[in-house]
Amino acid sequence: MQILRPDNLKEEPLILGIESSCDETAAAVIRGRRLLSDEIASSANIQALYGGVVPEIASRAHTDAVDLVVDRALKTAGVKKEQLDAVAVTYGAGLLGALLVGLSFAKGLAYGLHIPFIGVNHIRGHLSAAYLEDETLRPPFMTLLASGGHTAVIYTKSFSEFEVLGGTLDDAAGEAFDKVARVLGLPYPGGPHIEALAREGKPVVHMPKMLKGEGGYNFSYSGLKTAVINYCHTMEQRGEAWSKADVAASFQSAALDILVQKTVEGALEKGVTTVTAGGGVVANGYLREKLTEACMAHGLKLVLPVKKHCTDNAAMIAAEGLIRYEAGDFSPLSLNAAASIPLR
Ligand code: KG4
Ligand code: ZN
């Protein structure tokens, strides 16, 4: 199918971003790198009752919310849809039914307005959140990506070239937080609850090493998760008093210290001077503090997206839409949703 391209690329295009890959329906408008609106509706409260995301509930919630959220994003931005220069939307990775709601809506809008359509890789969106934080940010830089589905240290060579240095060999960091939260009897999503509980505890419970191989970038969360489960069971069986807060603090520091260490190592190895981060786990206050300290200690500039732009949002999709617009890299309207896609 033919790809619609504008005759002239604008300096500061007005881009609508839409995100619906999981349980958040979000829409945002940017002009260049300036954020004009940033709206979100979530079915997380309902999903929490089930202890995780139920795909069918997510799809229905997106269908109910998508036009309202987009409408609100345009109104808050003070923009009429006819003024938009492009529509960017997540087409993967994520839940197929959920993705299709945002994708179909965005295609219809772009087709109706006769403007370019940009299908965005959700992970690339997380990487691009940092561009909104610092208007001067340009590759190369080292990025820590830590979400519910991915955890990796990524060398961003240019706006469209990436090298994954390494990352988790099993669970993603967010997934590990969610699983450990369940063991500790905390609600879904577990990350923020573990963070809150950890503030009341001390990292005194022994946790296993996570690194796989010497000096590499790969690590594993499965041993850490098993260690938490075994510790809780053993203490219960012995009838000994134990502190959930200490377990939360011990797990949190073990799970996150490795990310800080590997990200800084990556930056030093590649000789870049800037570090960025993205993904839901980067909303964690402990991680933000440790990464800030480590970057400062090594003379690295750190560009951290605000917490709202770490967890799923549409501003990051609009930001990645801008990068693609500037490269003239548009998508055909035949683009389908994809449950999983590589970085490139
Ligand atoms: O990026 P995201 O919103 O969705 C995905 O693309 O996966 O990440 C969601 C993940 C969940 O696993 C959630 O528990 C985790 O991010 N998360 C956190 C925190 N806030 C969200 N993990 C640790 N600490 C937090 N404060
Ligand atoms: Zn995400």
Residue 144's pLDDT is what?
98
Alpha carbon nearest to ligand 1 atom 5, residue: 148
Model pLDDT, residue 215: 67
Look at ligand 1, atom 14, and give the residue with the nearest C-alpha.
Answer: 191
Residue 344 lies in a domain: no
> Is residue 299 domain-shared with residue 193, that is, in the same domain?
yes
Give the residues of the chain that fall short of pLDDT 70: 1, 214-215, 344
d(CA 311, ligand 1 centre) in Å = 6
> How many structural domains is the chain composed of?
2
Q: Are 180 and 169 in the same domain?
A: yes
Quote the pLDDT of residue 237: 94
Q: Whose CA is nearest to atom 3 of ligand 1?
A: 311
The pLDDT score that the predictor gives to residue 46 is: 83
Ion ligand 2 contact residues with beta carbon within 5 A: 147, 312
Boundaries of domain holding 57: 6-128+311-326
How large is the angle between the packed helices 285-297 and 244-270, nearest 10 degrees?
A: 40
In the reported structure, the alpha carbon of residue 237 is separated from the centroid of ligand 2 by a whole-number distance in angstroms of: 38
pTM: 0.96
State whether 321 and 284 are in the same domain: no
Q: Is-cis flag, bond preceding 189, omega within 30?
A: yes
Q: Do both 201 and 261 map to the same domain?
A: yes
Ligand 1 neighbour 121 (Cβ under 6 A): no
Is 172:93 a contact under the CB 8 Å cutoff? Answer: no
Helices 244-270 and 173-183: angle between axes, nearest 10 degrees: 170
For residue 330, give every residue at least 6 positions away whose Cβ sits within 8 Å of its Cβ, in sequence order, or none. 3, 4, 5, 86, 116, 117, 118, 324
Q: Do both 84 and 216 map to the same domain?
A: no
Residue 177: its pLDDT value, please?
A: 97
Q: Where are the beta strands (DSSP E) in the chain?
A: 14-19, 24-31, 34-42, 86-92, 117-121, 141-146, 151-158, 161-167, 274-278, 301-303
